[in-house]
Amino acid sequence: MAFVLTKKRKSRGRSKGGKGSTDHIQCSKCGTLVPRDKAKRVTSRVTLVEPMLAKELREAGAYIAAPKTIRFYCVSCAVHYGYVKVRSREDRRKLH
């Protein structure tokens, strides 16, 4: 008689496949160490110039650089701050 363990997610909450262990990174909010393939990655652009000044500069034909920032969040912070939505029980088992 074999016991079958329940499986909450098809990917087991990670995106590593069969790679073995991956390196850990710190959550940008709480500092928790999270495996890199389990952490939620959020890419955003940071404006270095105020919006009104940027509008005037753009009208004058200037190029305004907006560097990208990449942040990694643990699952609990990603859900808490709205970067990831809570999915239904059926949707959790689907591989997205």
Q: How far is 86 from 43, CA to CA, in rounded Å?
A: 20
Contact 84, 40 (CB under 8 A): yes
Chain-centre distance for alpha carbon 33: 14
What's the confidence (pLDDT) of residue 81?
A: 95
CATH 3.30.1740.20 fits 24-92, yes or no: yes
Please count the CA atoms within 13 angstroms of the CA of 40 that sit on its side-chain side. Answer: 16
pLDDT digits (tens, 9 = 90+) for 14-34: 888 888 889 999 999 999 999
Domain spans in the chain, listed from the N-terminal domain onward: 24-92
pTM of model > 0.85: no
Share of the chain above pLDDT 70, in %: 96
Q: How far apart are CA 29 and CA 37, in angstroms?
A: 17
With cut-offs at 50, 70 and 90, classify the pLDDT of residue 95.
low
